[in-house]
Structure 1
Amino acid sequence: MSTKTVRVLALVAFLASALVPAAGWAQQTLRIGELAGLTGGIAPYGVQIHNARLIAIDEINAKGGISVGGQKYKLDLVALDAGAPGEAVKVFERLLTVEKVTLILDGIYSSVEYALGPVLKSKKALLIWSGGNDPATTVGVPNAFRNHFDGGAPFMKVNELFLKKMGVKRVATYGQTGHADFKRFVEEYLPKIQGIEVVATEWHPFGEKDFFPVLTKLKGLKPDALIVHGFFTDGITMLKQAREIGLYPGPLWLNQYGAAPLMMDEASRAIWEGTYEILKSSWGVTTEAPERSRKFFQAYVKKFGERGFGAWAESGYDSVYILARAIEKAGVVDDPAKIGAAMQALNVPDVPELLMPYKPGKLFDKDRQAYPKIIVSQWKNGTFVPVFSDFGQ
């Protein structure tokens, strides 16, 4: 072989090696877990959270993934249906031991989060709550964060501000059992509001079909406002029966259901006409959705259809970007404690993709709770018209 031939072959080999990325730069996949609420009473909320996360992951992966330590990682969501509190703990353990994921997102409710807390804090894992809104579930659990709104004092304060704005003096409550946040609201907070008298506190189980006896009692008490809480599927039945006996229209009807127009059919939307919804932090489900929320909605409809879209979707979407930016800030993918510290240090502008209106400044407080603005909307012609909003602080 001539010297010239050797030089040509060497040049070809050099050029070929230059075009092939080094092994250390090859794109990898980072698996993140999800305790998804895909069945049961939580499904209308959990499914939209799950779907929104898939959209966020698609967006991130379409841009090449996240950059960590000089490498690119595409994200892969390992979603398992969490079910009831006891089952959720088992599913969580499966994510850790079988699926081998330590960065986990949640799309379920507060009672499940309470059950998971004692287990979570003893594990080398990180979890972001995006479903339930009881802030006590992050207190004392250093590896638990919540990007959903604070259902404690801030939410209660917004209720107070809105009731006073509307001139309410006498209020009754009718809530679904099993919701610790509402129990605390009616037993500890509401009775202490100066200028407002609580005339009745009533409860019903999930799936109740006959609200007539209690509604008839409440009608006789003539409250200025009725505050209701639980899953909106029960709320539809309750309000329909309230209309049948002439209780509504009447008092201001304040829903704490977290429902939204596209979570139900047209006939159900008509039942809500004139009432108010306070359990949400999303402009995207209102008539005043900003451009970024409108684009997200379009992406959601394209992938999943519009039915089922609600205020919880933006919380799920935001959780993916919060985790992604915390991982990049930490510079590691396999150290939940370091990623948690980076997440704790995030400021709202550090995550420019956020959809919900978070309070300016630090994204999370010392108890790892975020503070998106709470938005009150009125049902008008099957849509949500925002009428009041506040951070409650």
Structure 2
Amino acid sequence: MIVVIVGGVAAYYATRPPAPTPTPTPTPTPTHAIVGQVNIGLEQSLTGALGPIGEEVLWGAMLAESQINSQGGIYLANGPNGPGNYTINVIPQDDQSNPSNGPTATSTLITSDHAAIVITTPASTVAIADIRTIQQYDEPSIFLCSSPLATRTSNLTNFDTSKSMIFHYQPTGIQYGEWAAEFLHQYASQINPSGPLRVVYIGQQTEYGQDYLWGFEYTINQSGWQNQIQIVGVEWYPFGSTQFQDTLTKAAAASPNVLVLGTWPSEQAALSQQAATMPDLKGVVMGPATGIVDDKSYYSIGQDAVGTFMSTNFPEYAWTSNATINAKWAAFRSAYLALSGQQTGLLGASGYDAVWVAAYALKDAGTTQNTAVINALATMSPPPQLVVLVKPGANGALFNSYHEVSLQPLELETFWNSTSSSIYTQVVWPSQFATASPQFNLFP
């Protein structure tokens, strides 16, 4: 039996359960007069190769801005114009998907737009290039990239105190790898009752792919699971690849019963179809690789997607077994669709959440002064509006000692609806959120 774990999710849900009807939340009457406006900077990849990514984040940020302002903004006890309510103004600056442009866009937000907080792009190479500018101005910042280098030292095991003004809301690279290890360890005896799991990792030759593998290996070693999970091969491919025959042939030669994949959906579609033609990989079921991009081309491969396991903390279509979470997701998905005209996954949710985090930090600080805002970010509790699933620390704080959010993992599996001839996804892990049990032998 071969099982495939891929990092993240963006799967088509053709026959999903009906969305729960959320209870409308009344708009409160502001208790203080609106006396000013506070700018929140959005350094994003709005054009270029990663333009669709930045656009999705921007729509989420605009939705949060609209909701916050419709409630009267945020109260600042020591705001620039004195005590009172301040509306927020999200100002985007485009880095054109280019790391060389990121620092300029960030500097413009800080020096010209006077942003009280800057939210940076999910593109790791661009966001990491922004760090020096953010350090120069000691600017409170929320990072949405996957790279742990947003707040960690180069060895990835320590917090970098020179980055104390940065708070990492989507540290997915390492955490996806951690979740894959935890999931496989829990179900190892079901996947291979006769011995340890033989794992081949296939990942894109990018920082994301490397971080995923680092988190996977680190969790196995730190947890002492080497006898249950054995990595018998690692195969890299160039970002954006569509030909995987050689990679899959090498993977099959290692006789794995598990493939762990650090891929993106457009890559995953081609990889899935090519794997389906290989007898040595029967039992593999492929799916979209990350929650970063929703590539509709993947859905056309049909049954070749069935049985794939996908990690996420905000699925695009699936639901949990928790009615409260589902109601919040339904309200967000509906509002995002109404505003943007499109469905969203993790990226839109991240942009939405980041603006709410920024707003609550400013409210807690009571001022736009950098040091006070940084301290507020370091100690704040998760805002109740967050749609991404997070796990607060022992002290209830949103950010941990790495200035990272500990994300709540969800493992989804792709199934086949024979009536509609389409795929759909269900949460299968962890049990408190699952709507189905995982199955490990569904590959056609």
TM-score (norm 2): 0.74
Identify the match of residue 110 of structure 1 among 124, 134, 137: 124
Change (3 A) 1:320 1:298: same
Q: Distance in 2 between matches of 1:359 and 1:189?
A: 18
Q: Tell me, what secondary structure is at the counterpart of 1:377?
A: strand
Tell me the CA shift for residue 252 of structure 1. 6.3
Counterpart in 1 of 2:425? 384
Q: Distance in 1 between matches of 2:348 and 2:431?
A: 20
Aligned 8 A contact 2:99 2:129 in 1? yes
Counterpart in 2 of 1:374? 409
**Matched residues, number:** 361
Tell me the CA shift for residue 59 of structure 1. 0.5
Paired residue type of 2:211? D
Paired residue type of 1:159? A
Q: Distance in 2 between matches of 1:317 and 1:38?
A: 16
1:1-80 pair list within 5 angstroms: 25=33, 27-69=35-77, 70-80=83-93
> Deviation per CA, 1:186-208, whole angstroms, max 9, x where unpaired?
66555774122222111111121
Tell me the CA shift for residue 299 of structure 1. 0.5
* Higher mean C-alpha deviation, range 179-188 or range 239-248: 179-188
Change (3 A) 1:107 1:320: same
| Unaligned ranges ≥5, structure 1 | 1-23
Tell me the CA shift for residue 137 of structure 1. 1.5
Identify the match of residue 313 of structure 1 among 336, 348, 364: 348
* Higher mean C-alpha deviation, range 239-248 or range 297-306: 239-248
* Higher mean C-alpha deviation, range 163-172 or range 244-253: 244-253
Identify the match of residue 391 of structure 2 among 332, 346, 359: 359
> Deviation per CA, 1:73-109, whole angstroms, max 9, x where unpaired?
2221111222122221222122223333241112323
Q: Tell me, what secondary structure is at the counterpart of 2:60?
A: helix
> Deviation per CA, 1:178-229, whole angstroms, max 9, x where unpaired?
2241352466555774122222111111121221111122223321111111
Paired residue type of 1:56? A
Asked whether 1:173 is paired with 2:201, we answer: yes
Asked whether 1:87 is paired with 2:117, we answer: no
1:115-130 pair list within 5 angstroms: 115-130=129-144
Aligned 8 A contact 1:284 1:293 in 2? no
Paired residue type of 2:139? A
Tell me the CA shift for residue 112 of structure 1. 2.7
Change (3 A) 1:26 1:171: closer
> Deviation per CA, 1:24-51, whole angstroms, max 9, x where unpaired?
9554222211111334554444332221
Aligned 8 A contact 1:223 1:251 in 2? no
Asked whether 1:297 is paired with 2:329, we answer: no
Report which of the two has the higher share of helix. Answer: 1
Aligned 8 A contact 1:262 1:306 in 2? no
Change (3 A) 1:160 1:186: closer
Tell me the CA shift for residue 353 of structure 1. 1.2
Identity %: 21
Q: Tell me, what secondary structure is at the counterpart of 1:122?
A: helix
Task: Decide which structure has the larger Cα Rg and report it.
Answer: 1
Paired residue type of 2:398? L
Q: Distance in 2 between matches of 1:225 and 1:42?
A: 31
| Unaligned ranges ≥5, structure 2 | 1-31, 78-82, 153-159, 192-196, 417-422, 433-444
Asked whether 1:286 is paired with 2:321, we answer: no
Aligned 8 A contact 1:212 1:241 in 2? yes
Aligned 8 A contact 1:170 1:199 in 2? yes
Change (3 A) 1:26 1:102: closer
> Deviation per CA, 1:223-248, whole angstroms, max 9, x where unpaired?
11111113221121211221233455
